Amino acid sequence: DAGVTQSPTHLIKTRGQHVTLRCSPISGHKSVSWYQQVLGQGPQFIFQYYEKEERGRGNFPDRFSARQFPNYSSELNVNALLLGDSALYLCASSPGFNQPQHFGDGTRLSIL
């Protein structure tokens, strides 16, 4: 079975631009979460979606938004990019609540 897939794998943007990151969960998983990981730190929670509804939001500015589609795939959007948004963005899926979360390999975003 395919794991969590994320695209693109790498992305380079300049300050002020907009970016969209995509995630396909493991088949049968209805929950998708997004995390930001900067070098040397553990991942930080951004959003969780379950059954296409936002269930949780971390301490990130309104420039960050996300959505989940009927097929349970998800997009993370970031507007007005800042240098500090440079990070590895990770997507995780799980069948539901209180279940192990399975992560993709992430999208490496670099802001110039």
Partner 1 sequence: KQEVTQIPAALSVPEGENLVLNCSFTDSAIYNLQWFRQDPGKGLTSLLLIQSSQREQTSGRLNASLDKSSGRSTLYIAASQPGDSATYLCAVEFSGGGADGLTFGKGTHLIIQP
Please report, as ranges, the residues that interact with partner 1 according to CB under 8 A.
Answer: 4, 31, 33, 35, 40-48, 50, 55-56, 58, 90, 92, 97-106
Closer by beta carbon to partner 1, 3 or else 16 = 3
Shortest Å, Cβ 86 to partner 1: 15
Dihedral over Cα of 93, 94, 95, 97: its sign: negative
Return d(Cα 13, Cα 2) in angstroms, integer.
29
Closer by beta carbon to partner 1, 14 or else 105 = 105
Shortest Å, Cβ 105 to partner 1: 4
Element (H, E) at 57: strand 53-57
Closer by beta carbon to partner 1, 5 or else 13 = 5
Return d(Cα 26, Cα 28) in angstroms, integer.
6
